[in-house]
Amino acid sequence: MTKIYGPGAEDLDRAARILAEGGIIAVPTETVYGLAAHALDEAACGRIFEIKGRPLIDPLIIHIHDLIGAKSLAAWNDWAELLAHAFWPGPLTFVLPKQSIVPALVTAGLETVAIRMPRHPVMRKLLIKCNLPLAAPSANPFGYLSPTRPEHVLEALGENLEFILDGGPCEIGLESTVLDLCDPLGPAILRPGAISGWQISEVLGIEILVKTQSMPEIPAPVSKGMPSPGLMHRHYSPRTPLAIRPHLHEFCRDEALTNEKIAFIAFQKPTERPDFTDSAAKIRFFWLTEDGDVEEAARNLYDLLHKVDRMNFNQIFIELAPESGLGAVINERLLRASGSAND
Ligand code: TXA
Ligand code: MG
């Protein structure tokens, strides 16, 4: 029985009905697929944590259709006003003081709430149709790779989910930038994403702090003092062990080549394939982009890791992207996926 529907008018009607009745569905956004529930329905949001296996200390992002919706959930300020006009709808999440109608479960007991206006056309239609704020973390089991296609959601969470709304492959492929707008010292990036600190700084005319340090594997008792509680040390990981190898040529000299069943993911399609005739390893090559286009690499990252993760290799080695713009965001995710992000 199929669980992937739509996005025709009848499918959107059904999706909206399930949400209004307190159900959970998977939804497309321009960044990654989300696992959505009516954000003001505490029981429904509780099911999101259960389905994901997510600790209750890790708060959810609420998706809204318009500024009126945003202001009903969060105490607005001038930075939010300027940034919403510049980047919404789009891949930028604001952390602001919460209004009292937002259930404590959604914000994990914090006095702040994360909100975002997504720009995926199917998600926008759904938000209009259901006329509800939607809490939606990425639609993956906690700690696993984020989904960028409906099939990724089906494979990882299909057993516990009746309805996945199909919006095709995600346009960006990396989770939104999370920006703290509560700190009187100035706005601070808690999670890097497609909207860069430089772009934010241009709009606000001030310097943007970065507070993306990683968190311990088992988080401390309660979230106070965690800049962004979801940023655990290991996150976004495939099941196959993943390690970073800086360059293809260094990799070719690596003693790990005696190991069997290795996948190597290069950033860009290699111009010449290395010669492995002396090696016992059965190596398969993949790449994130044909010609070095960093946006294409970002779009492909989770999809390729999902594919390679299904192929039963003993080890995946992956090259970092060039460390600028979206490349730096890809690298931040890879360091977490391999468990080697700095504390
Ligand atoms: O692109 C995205 O943001 C996707 C799509 C579905 O919108 N959502 C997403 O949600 O990535 P999630 O739950 O996987 O990540 C949300 C991040 C977590 O790191 C969480 O700790 C942080 O946002 N966050 C949520 N509320 C927060 C708050 N009040 N203060 C600080 N960080 C918060
Ligand atoms: Mg996530």
Provide the domain count of the chain.
2
Pocket mutation for ligand 1, best pick of 102, 212, 228 (most atoms within 8 Å of C-beta): 228
CA of 145 relative to ligand 2 center, distance in Å: 8
CA-nearest residue, atom 17 of ligand 1: 230
Q: Looking at the structure, do residues 162 and 69 belong to the same domain, yes or no?
A: yes
* Residue 215, beta-bridge partner list: 232
Last residue of a domain, one of 210, 233, 264: 210
229 lines ligand 1 (CB under 6 A): yes
Average pLDDT, the chain: 90
Angle between helices 326-337 and 294-309 (to 10 degrees): 20
Ligand nearest the Cα of residue 226 is 1
| 215 falls within a domain | no
CA-nearest residue, atom 31 of ligand 1: 228
| Residue 237 main-chain phi, psi, to 5 deg | -100, 140
| 235 falls within a domain | no
Q: Looking at the structure, do residues 201 and 254 belong to the same domain, yes or no?
A: no
Last residue of a domain, one of 165, 195, 210: 210
Ligand nearest the Cα of residue 49 is 1
pLDDT digits (tens, 9 = 90+) for 312-323: 999 999 999 999
Q: Looking at the structure, do residues 11 and 57 belong to the same domain, yes or no?
A: yes
Q: Looking at the structure, do residues 177 and 292 belong to the same domain, yes or no?
A: no
CATH code for the domain in which residue 45 is found: 3.90.870.10
Expressed as residue numbers, the domain containing 197 is 3-210
Written as six digits, the tokens of 198 are 């430089």
pLDDT digits (tens, 9 = 90+) for 2-19: 799 989 999 999 999 999
**CA-CA distance, 128 to 118, in Å (whole number)?**
12
Ligand nearest the Cα of residue 227 is 1
| 324 falls within a domain | yes
Extended beta strands in 159-205, E state:
164-165, 177-180, 188-191
CATH code for the domain in which residue 313 is found: 3.40.50.11030
| 233 falls within a domain | no
State the pLDDT at residue 254.
63
Reply yes or no on whether the pLDDT at 221 is more than 50: no
pLDDT digits (tens, 9 = 90+) for 238-284: 999 999 987 766 666 665 566 668 888 999 988 876 666 555 556 78
| 136 falls within a domain | yes
User: Mean pLDDT throughout 16-39?
Assistant: 98
Contact 288, 131 (CB under 8 A): no
**CA-CA distance, 53 to 140, in Å (whole number)?**
9
| 230 falls within a domain | no
| 287 falls within a domain | yes
